[in-house]
Amino acid sequence: MNKQIISLFSFGIFLVIIGAIGKIMDWNQSNLIMAIGLLFELLAAILFIWQKIKK
């Protein structure tokens, strides 16, 4: 796999975990952090699928 895809996916997972911790601690921005994390994961999945289709 491409290092960029792994990096995007890992950063997305990190943001989702931080957002979940924020939910527990009742942070105002936790939903936004989780949404951005899911967006990074979705972008990584789209890039991975795009590379597989191109081959």
Distance from C-alpha of 23 to C-alpha of 35, rounded to nearest angstrom: 12
First to last CA, the chain: 13
Is the pLDDT score of 9 beyond 70? yes
Tokens encoding 10: 């890992």
Give me the pLDDT at residue 22, please.
94
Query: What is the torsional sign of CA 37, 38, 43, 44?
Result: positive
The pLDDT value given to residue 1: 65
The dihedrals phi and psi of 41, each to the nearest 5 degrees, come to -65, -40
Hey, where are the domains in the chain? 3-54
Cα–Cα nearest to 6, from 39, 43, 34:
43
Q: Where do we find the tokens 């997972």?
A: 13
pLDDT digits (tens, 9 = 90+) for 16-33: 999 999 999 999 999 999
